[in-house]
Amino acid sequence: MHYVSTRGSAPALGFEDVTLAGLASDGGLYVPESWPSFTAADIRALAGLSYVDTAVRVMAPFVAGSLDEDELRGLCEAAYGRFSHQAVTPLVQLDHRNWLLELFHGPTLAFKDVALQLLGQLFERFLSRRDDHLTIVGATSGDTGSAAIDAVAGRAKIDIFMLHPEGRVSDVQRRQMTTVLAPNVYNIAIDGSFDDAQALVKRMFNDTDFSSRFNLSAVNSINWARLMAQVVYYFYAAVRLGAPDRPVAFSVPTGNFGDVFAGYVAAKMGLPVAKLMVATNVNDILHRALADGDYSQGQVQPTATPSMDIQVSSNFERLLFDAGGRDGTALAEQMRGFEATRAMRLTNAQREGAAALFTSARIDADSMTMAMRWAYDGAGQVIDPHSAIGLAAARTLDLDPAVPVVTLATAHAAKFSDAVERATGTRPPLPARVGDLFAREERYAKMPATFEAITAYVAERATPRA
């Protein structure tokens, strides 16, 4: 399988190179040069398979040429063996048509584990083949940092430096990062905001000398391998609800458009997806883009769903490319316009291509709270605020009543216990596997938010390339 850039001028690469590169050299994102296609019989044959067996079937075409099936199986077993539920991503029924797909049974209690646990395995395999070393640098406002640290802690050939804004992540989120004492993990609390942290990281990547000396890599959701890992659970859930003989709709709480784009990929591969609901909070750039063609950046408003407080959705570019006819040169021009003015209109082709499968809803704090109460009162399910945004949007879908609607539950309620308690009156306890989080030793550096201080710290500790 070869991958092409959404901006048309970077070289096509195989899966191994795409995984290690992250972003394409022309500033675009990698997508497969064509979508693998599953027949109804192929999908029917997934019935009854375990999560790992499903993962191997669904991902095999994407990794062809880089990993054989046995290697892929070994990596999946290592990644998903760390989940606390035997089904890895179990379905829970809420009423006669609504279901939750629980994606939070990984080590850090958020759906990002599903992709990052596999990415950690892939990095290690590919780096040892090449005898190369990687320095991961990232900024986090919570979930990504802990999931990435857990995925690479203790791995040879990788160091990870994670910046977080001091005092602005929750205690659970901070401790999930700072109590990992592996020697290749460096947490840095900066005296500044998340945007300051992000700006520092961007500057490090733009410093080409620094970046190539330490082989810097990012783990944000622009990495194709992350999206690929997320395609699996759409198949896994739909097959359990009757696919390929019965279409299924999905509602996805969305920020960077990674998770819901994986649903689009599943549909392109032949899974009968009736609709993909893009559920946003009041930071609604994606809702405006899909409803009116208006992709213009607003001010980020902080909400109870911080992982969706986003005003630029990096993976949306992949949809614009594919739905708009795969014209990389035209898209590069359109994205340059957006980067200059922070606004753009979708083309008619992009709008029509997206409308065939996607719909969207903007969910405010009241509707989110009502969805949490509805799940608790009607089905005894305590859900987190992000999942509640998805569920509130799911309940606005106007579809054939025979189509089951699956809401992706992206975080464990205990990660956001204050908001959950306000809505439902119950405070969800941390699950046993992270129960001693508050007794563990923490280790992190505190630093001013200056480029000089951070780069000196990284340069002293990271492994330069041979």
Cα 137–Cα 208–Cα 463 angle in degrees, nearest 5: 50
- Contact set for ligand PLP, span 130-149 (CB under 6 A): 143
Q: Using alpha carbons, list the distances in angstroms from residue 460 to 140, 186, 237, 395, 464.
A: 22, 12, 46, 53, 10
Interface with ligand PLP by CB under 6 A: which range of 247-255, 341-349, 368-376, 391-399?
247-255
Coil/strand/helix, residue 456: helix
Rounded distance, CA 215 to CA 238, Å? 40
Of residues 16, 124, 166, 259, which one binds ligand PLP by CB under 6 A?
A: 259
Interface with ligand PLP by CB under 6 A: which range of 203-211, 256-264, 366-374, 452-460?
256-264
Of residues 255, 263, 270, 404, which one binds ligand PLP by CB under 6 A?
A: 255
* Residues belonging to the chain: 466
Mark 410-439 with x for binding to ligand PLP (rule: CB under 6 A) and - for no binding. xx----------------------------
Interface with ligand PLP by CB under 6 A: which range of 250-258, 354-362, 395-403, 419-427?
250-258
If one counts every other C-beta atom within 10 angstroms of the C-beta of residue 340, the result is 9
- CA neighbor of 3 nearest in space, from 444, 304, 318: 318
Rounded distance, CA 232 to CA 57, Å? 9
Residues identified as active-site: 112
- State yes or no: residue 36 binds ligand PLP (CB under 6 A): no
Instruction: Tokens 């492994």: give the residue.
Output: 463
For residue 400, the 8-state DSSP code is -
Count residues contacting ligand PLP (CB under 6 A)?
16
- State yes or no: residue 258 binds ligand PLP (CB under 6 A): yes
Mark 189-228 with x for binding to ligand PLP (rule: CB under 6 A) and - for no binding. --------------------------------x-------
Q: Give 259 or 317: the residue with its C-beta nearer to ligand PLP.
A: 259
- Contact set for ligand PLP, span 342-381 (CB under 6 A): none
Of residues 4, 20, 109, 110, which one binds ligand PLP by CB under 6 A?
A: 110
285-320 burial, b for 16+ CB within 10 Å, e for fewer?
bbbbbbbeeebeeeebeebbbbbbbbbebbbbbbbb
Mark 59-98 with x for binding to ligand PLP (rule: CB under 6 A) and - for no binding. ----------------------------------------
HSE-CB for 122 with a 13 A CA cutoff: 28
Longest CA–CA separation in the chain, Å? 61
**Which run of H or of E encompasses 391?**
helix 385-394
Tell me which residues touch ligand PLP (CB under 6 A).
110, 112, 143, 221, 253-259, 307-308, 386, 410-411
